[in-house]
Amino acid sequence: MSVDLGAAIDSLAFLIVFIVYLFVTYRGAEMTRAFVNQVYRSRARWIVALGVAILINDVAGHAPYVSNVTIGGVPLGLLTIFLALVVAFAFGDRTILVTLEMDFFHRDTLHWRRFRYFAYPLFYGDLASITLLVFLAFLPSPPSWVSVVINSPEFLAVFFGLLVFNLAYVVGALFVGARRTPDRIIRRHLIILVLFFGIGTLSIINDFTLSITPLDDFLALAGAYVWYRATMTLSPIGRVEKEGAEASALVPQSGAPT
Amino acid sequence: MVSTGVPSLDNLLGSDGYPDKSAILVVGPPGIGKEALGYWFVRSGLIQGDYCLYVTHRPVTDVLRDMKGTGISTERVPEWIASSGSPIKCDLRDATSISFNTKEAVKRNVGRRVRVATDVLSPLLVLNPLASMYNYWSQLVAELKQQDSVLFALAEDGMHPPNVLTTVEQLFDGVIEMRLYEEGLAITPLFRVKKMLGLPPLHGYFRFSVTNTGMEVVPHVR
């Protein structure tokens, strides 16, 4: 009996990524409950939302049976990528707003407060247009202009250009926000998020253009690990040790002072 | 003694709350609820007719929104020294004016019990040398304690190296530390009283929760 090694690695990567995101999403939900401040509670909620979106995308793209599901002829996995992008952009926006609030001088990082009013329509409009075109393309008898548009280099350049431009702007604003954040723990959290968005952008480019499966698996695993680190650094978390220790049984972690 | 505004915390601290003429420091990461303790402290003062001053680097509207979010009515509000929305401005670049305005406000209310809550400790520590800030806060704390006042200050633990926090903690009569802890898969917000004037060391940790009707503190049972 021969074993397809590539498919086995792909399945294993999917399983690991799924477990990591499931765990991190649960942790995010726990943090939502634990935080008192509305801003941080909202941050934890967005972590849950993005985690769920990525889980859905992971299942839709890899799980047996589910990955064959189509909606209006369109593969479910393709639509869930768009869903993850919608949530990821909103997540990035909320995170940047938190960095603006944390800055002592409340500086408008890269004019984000103004930029977001243009960025939302641009980003979501971009995704909506490609979704519509994909649905049209999968019609039993698609209009002839659809394939012309989808395959035109100009359209692809505008689609990817807007996508990457907006994501790059998010990454830039997060990076500058991180540098301006006085809290070292949050700064580390933001830098890790920058890395996560970078990996996400590379993953999208690979998905839509190169489609190299080993690279896809590597980026998925790296993304899952980085996402785990990002969530764990949202707030320093100590660990309760076993009974029997002295009164100081709670040992702080994450490098935060006691 | 001065009520913390949280009955269960008052009980924990010997039924009456924070010591008179004291300075209390609450240390913890952002978002965990340090401010909520400050809001309940100020609210309690407003109800009892104390003069309450809130010194913040945030706009008044932000703080009021936060207060409402923690279930506190904003019908009665303290006097403000804030970055915007207050007659007296809080400019982090000008630590002297923050100290001067705070002391002047307290002096204008001699004869009344005074509660001062502030979140400017960490920003000022980040923006200024530790030595000068140590003198700054020790003078401010000493002058406020000459009046019948309690200072309630917040510090972000991620903003300072451990030695800075340890140094600053020495200026305060009471130190409360808040943070998240993990137990298995669950994450729980806990605090401990590191020191409190007039009280023996309080061992153990306490679970706290903030609801729309108030704040609850119970001993943490593992």
Structure confidence by residue, pLDDT tens digits, B184-201: 888 889 988 989 988 887
How far apart, in Å, are the Cα atoms of B50 and each of A226, B79, B86, B181? 50, 11, 19, 35
Two structure tokens written together for B87: 């007659």
Residue type, A184: R
Residue type, B164: V
Structure confidence by residue, pLDDT tens digits, A33-84: 888 887 788 888 999 999 999 999 888 887 778 878 888 888 888 888 889 9
pTM for the predicted model, two decimal places: 0.82
Structure confidence by residue, pLDDT tens digits, A163-191: 888 888 888 888 888 888 888 888 898 99
Question: Does residue B66 sit at the A interface (CB-CB below 8 Å)?
Answer: yes
Structure confidence by residue, pLDDT tens digits, B112-168: 999 999 999 999 999 999 899 999 999 999 999 888 899 999 999 888 888 999 999
pLDDT for residue A255: 38
Q: Does residue A250 carry a pLDDT above 50?
A: no
Asked if B179 lies within 8 A of A240 by C-beta distance, the reply is no
pLDDT for residue B51: 95
CA triple B74-B77-A44, angle to 5 deg:
55
Instruction: Compute the average pLDDT of residues A85-96.
Output: 89
List CB contacts of A117: < 8 A, sequence separation 6 or more: none
pLDDT for residue A240: 59
Q: Which residue of B has its CA nearest to A41?
A: B31
Asked if A235 lies within 8 A of B222 by C-beta distance, the reply is no
pLDDT for residue A256: 38
Q: How far is A248 from chain B (nearest CA, A)?
A: 7
Q: A 15-34 residues with CB below 8 A of B? A: 26-27, 30-31, 33-34
Asked if A30 lies within 8 A of B187 by C-beta distance, the reply is yes
Nearest to A112, CA basis, from A180, A172, A162, A160: A172
CB burial of residue A125 (10 Å; 0-12, 13-18, 19+): exposed
Structure confidence by residue, pLDDT tens digits, B48-90: 999 999 999 999 998 999 888 888 888 889 999 999 999 999 9
Question: Does residue B200 sit at the A interface (CB-CB below 8 Å)?
Answer: no
Q: Does residue B2 carry a pLDDT above 50?
A: yes
- For chain A, give the longest Cα–Cα distance: 76
Structure confidence by residue, pLDDT tens digits, A232-243: 888 777 765 544
Output the 3-class SS for chain A: CCCCHHHHHHHHHHHHHHHHHHHHHHHHHHHHHHCCCHHHHHHHHHHHHHHHHHHHHHHHHHCCCHHHCEECCEEHHHHHHHHHHHHHHHHHHHHHHHHHHHCCCCCCHHHHHHHHHHHHHHHHHHHHHHHHHHHHHCCCCCCHHHHHHHHCHHHHHHHHHHHHHHHHHHHHHHHHHHHHCCCHHHHHHHHHHHHHHHHHHHHHHHHHHHCCHHHHHHHHHHHHHHHHHHHHCCCCEEEECCCCCCCCCEECCCCCCC
Asked if B185 lies within 8 A of A186 by C-beta distance, the reply is no
Nearest to A76, CA basis, from A159, A13, A134: A134
Q: What is the ipTM of this complex?
A: 0.80
In angstroms, rounded to a whole number, what is the distance separating the alpha carbons of residues A99 and A174? 8
